[in-house]
């Protein structure tokens, strides 16, 4: 086994949870459903919009953690992570990335700048996520570039600025969750399947 191959396997197993892409699909579907429920084009009373979206996230959380967690444990086994290796990522995520996204959404909603600041925040968050969870997966880089492009669309009159841009942005992020999740899962299978095959040969 080459050094590059060993490094790739290490990158995946060291960030095993984050490569289990099927887990992200229910959340992506919930985000898409929420964007649809929040759309002003649907004749839904404002008082019901949140109550329509909330159950979707509850179901998504159950599918991601319980159902798909068992699926990955059954098909790929379990990896005991070393939390000390991810202290920096965890700190940056909770102290910088998530607060930054919230602040950006508040700026869009309250100030209505000429750019969609939230889209730029999500683009930076996605690239930071890719780099901090083993690299590779160039589809996230494509997604980040797409979000940067979306952020400047108000300058050309393609989308509205401010809070009106947040609903389509939520839908786009949901789509990224779904597509990224499918591609992550395919990459996980590609990287780890040869190991499983080698283990079967070694056991004969």
Instruction: Share the mean pLDDT of the chain.
Output: 87
pLDDT at 198 over 60: no
Q: What crossing angle do the helices spanning 166-203 and 98-111 adopt, rounded to 10°?
A: 160
- The mean pLDDT of 97-124, rounded to a whole number, is 95
Give the predicted TM-score (pTM) of the model. Answer: 0.87
| pLDDT value at residue 181 | 96
User: CA 108, 180, 3 angle in degrees (round to 5)?
Assistant: 125
Structural domain that includes position 90: 3-203
Convert the pLDDT of each residue in 113-141 to its tens digit.
Answer: 999 999 999 999 999 999 988 888 999 99
d(CA 27, CA 181): 10
- The mean pLDDT of 154-179, rounded to a whole number, is 93
pLDDT at 53 over 60: yes
Q: Tally the domains of the chain.
A: 1
| Alpha carbon separation from 27 to 55, 101, 113, 153, 187 (Å, rounded) | 12, 17, 28, 26, 19
How crowded is residue 104: how many other Cβ atoms within 10 Å of its Cβ? 20
d(CA 194, CA 115): 46
């Amino acid at each position: 086994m080459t050094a590059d191959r060993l490094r790739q396997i290490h990158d995946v197993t060291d960030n095993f949870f984050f490569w289990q892409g099927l887990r992200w699909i229910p959340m992506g579907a919930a985000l898409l459903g929420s964007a649809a429920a929040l759309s002003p084009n649907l004749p839904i009373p404002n008082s019901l919009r949140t109550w329509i979206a909330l159950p979707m996230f509850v179901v998504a959380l159950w599918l991601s953690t319980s159902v798909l967690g068992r699926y990955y444990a059954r098909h790929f086994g379990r990896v005991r992570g070393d939390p000390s290796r991810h202290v920096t990522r965890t700190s940056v995520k909770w102290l910088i990335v998530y607060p930054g996204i919230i602040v950006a959404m508040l700026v869009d909603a309250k100030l209505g700048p000429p750019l969609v600041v939230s889209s730029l925040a999500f683009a930076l968050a996605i690239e930071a996520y890719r780099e901090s969870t083993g690299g590779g997966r160039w589809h996230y880089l494509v997604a980040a570039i797409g979000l940067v492009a979306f952020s400047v669309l108000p300058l050309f009159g393609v989308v509205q600025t401010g809070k009106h841009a947040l609903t389509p942005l939520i839908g786009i992020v949901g789509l990224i969750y779904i597509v990224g999740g499918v591609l992550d899962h395919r990459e996980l299978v590609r990287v780890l399947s040869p190991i499983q095959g080698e283990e079967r040969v070694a056991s004969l």
